[in-house]
Amino acid sequence: MNAEILAIGSELVSGQRLDTNSQWLSQRLGAIGIPVHFHTTLGDDLEENVAALRVALGRSSLILTSGGLGPTQDDLTRDALAAVAGVPLVEDADSLAAIELMFARRNRPMVPRNRVQALIPQGAQALPNRVGTAPGIAMSIGAAEVISLPGVPSELKIMYEEQVQPRLRAKAGASGVIVHRVIHLFGRGESEIEAKALDLTARGRRPEVGITAHNATISFRVSCDGPTEADALREIEPTLEIIRRRFGSLVIGEVEGEDLAEALVHELAHAGRTIAVAESCTGGLIAAQLTKIPGVSAHFLGGVVSYSNDVKERILGVPRALLELHGAVSPEVAEAMAAGVRERLGADLGLSVTGIAGPGGGTAEKPVGLVYLGLATATGVESRKLNIGPEQPRDVIRSRSAKHAMNWARLSLRNESI
C-alpha cells in the first residue's frame, strides 16, 4: 500500500493557515507500516480537486483527504469524489439523522444547508462523526481506497483513530510497521558528519539512514519496516549503535525534538550538579529552554539576564573597570559573569553568554555574531569565543550561542573538551 494525503482548503494553500493534518496522518500511517509518498495541499476549487485526485489515483493505492466536508458552498470534496468516480451524490439517511441529532443536542437551529453534509457519492460509505457535523466518506475508486475526513484536527484525529486505522490495519494485514529512530548531534557541520557516515547513508542500505540539519543540530534518521515494532527495532538497533560509537560525545540525544537543553540537564542529573546562567545577548533563551523541562528545578537554580552593564555590575558583581577596559563583549566580562552568577546563586556551574546579536551594534573589531561564553566551576573559570557570522539574523545568532553554551557545559560535565 502506497499512501498519499490531500489537504483541501484555500486558507491552507494561500498560506493563511498551516496544515498540520498531513503530518499527523503520515505519522499514524507510518506507525502501521503504510508509507506516505506525497502530500498535496490545494484550494476549494472543484476542477483542481478533481485533477489532484486523478494524479493521486495514478500513483497511490490509498488516498486520505482532509477538509472540504463542511456545509458551506466552498466545501467540495463530496462533489470531487463523485465526479472522479463518475457516480451521483445520494443522501445518507443515517448521516442525516446524526446531523439532526447533533443540532438538537446543541439547541441550535439546523439550516437547510447542513443537509448537504449527509450527501455521499453513490456506493460510498459514510463514516460517522461523533464530535462534529461532517461525516467522513470511504470509497473505492478503481484499485484505490479513498478516505475523506473533516479538516478540523480534533475531529479528524478521533475519526482516524476510531474508524480509519482499524480499517487500514485489517487491509494492510501482514504488511507490518515502519519504525523511525533519531539521533541528534551537535558540534560539527552536516557535510563533515556525512563524510564520516557514507557507509550508513548509502542508497539501498537497510535500515535506511538519512541526515537532516536544523539550526546547527544534525540529526540521523534511521527507518526500517518489519512485521512488528520489535522486529523493526531489532534491525535498527545495530545501526544506532554504530552511530553512537562513531560520533561519541557529539551525540546529544535520541528523542525527537530534544536538543541541547535536554542533553545538558541529562548530564547535570548524571553528575548530580546544579547550574546557574548569566545571559546577555541570549537574553533568557537558555533559561527559558532549560525551564521547558519539567522537574529541572533540581539542577537549574536560576539565571540573570544582564542586558545592561549596570545589571552586570549590580547583580553579577562584574567590576565596572573590567566593563570599561574590555567592553561588555569580551572574554574577561564573560568570565566575570560566569563566576559572578555561580557564586551569587550558589551553583556548581556558572555559564555565561555575552555577544553582539545584531542587526545593529557591530564594529570592525567586534562584528555582529561575535560572542563570548564563560564557564565557571569549582576548579576555575574559562572563556570561549564564537564567530557566528555577521550575515546571520539575530535569532540564529541567539539560538546558536545558546546551543554552544549549553554544549560546552554538557561536555565539561563529561570531562570532555569541545
- Within residues 397-416, the interface with a copy of itself by CB under 8 A covers 398
Residue entry with cell 472522479: 84
| Residue of 60, 68, 8, 53 whose CA lies nearest to 29 | 60
By the rule CB under 8 A, 364 interacts with a copy of itself: no
Q: How far is the CB of 45 from a copy of itself (least distance, A)?
A: 8
Axis-axis angle for helices 46-57, 77-85 (nearest 10): 50
Q: Applying CB under 8 A, what is the total number of residues that bind a copy of itself?
A: 127
The footprint of a copy of itself on residues 320-339 (CB under 8 A) is none
Between 201 and 249, whose beta carbon lies closer to a copy of itself? 201
Least separation in angstroms between CB 132 and a copy of itself:
9
Residue 249 lies near a copy of itself (rule: CB under 8 A): no
Assigned C-alpha cell, 79: 462533489
Question: Which of 27-35, 159-167, 234-242, 404-412 is the region at the interface with a copy of itself (rule: CB under 8 A)?
Answer: 27-35
CA 220 to chain centre: 15
Cα of first residue to Cα of last residue in the chain, in angstroms, is 47
Taking CB under 8 A as the criterion, the residue among 1, 24, 90, 233 binding a copy of itself is 24
The one among 120, 286, 336, 411 contacting a copy of itself by CB under 8 A = 286
Cβ 123 to a copy of itself, closest distance in Å? Answer: 26
Among 180, 266, 273, 326, binds a copy of itself (CB under 8 A): 180
Cα 341 → chain centroid: 33
For residue 393, give Cα distances in angstroms to 57, 259, 359: 43, 21, 7
Nearer to a copy of itself, 166 or 389 (CB): 389
State yes or no: residue 73 binds a copy of itself (CB under 8 A). Answer: yes
Taking alpha carbons only, the member of 174, 167, 160 closest to residue 225 is 174
Does the footprint of a copy of itself cover residue 287 (CB under 8 A)? yes
Query: Quick one: which of 70, 14, 3 has its CA closest to 37?
Result: 3
Identify residues 119-178 at the interface with a copy of itself (CB under 8 A): 130-131, 133, 152, 154, 158, 178
**Is 32 among the residues that bind a copy of itself (CB under 8 A)?**
no
Beta carbon nearer to a copy of itself, 139 or 287: 287
H/E stretch holding 382 reads strand 380-387
Closer CB to a copy of itself, 34 or 381, in the complex? 34
For 411, phi and psi rounded to 5 degrees? -70, -35
Is residue 311 at the binding interface for a copy of itself, with CB under 8 A as the rule?
yes
Q: Which of 104, 123, 387, 418 binds a copy of itself (CB under 8 A)?
A: 387
Query: What are the CB-based long-range contacts (under 8 Å, 24+) for 240-249?
Result: 240/181, 240/183, 242/200, 243/183, 243/197, 243/200, 243/209, 244/183, 246/196, 246/197, 247/183, 247/185, 247/193, 247/196, 249/411, 249/414, 249/416
Instruction: For the CB of residue 416, give the shortest distance to a copy of itself in the complex, in Å.
Output: 19
- Name the residue nearer to a copy of itself (CB basis): 310 or 416: 310
The reply on whether position 304 binds a copy of itself by CB under 8 A is yes
Residue 206 as a binder of a copy of itself (CB under 8 A): the answer is: no
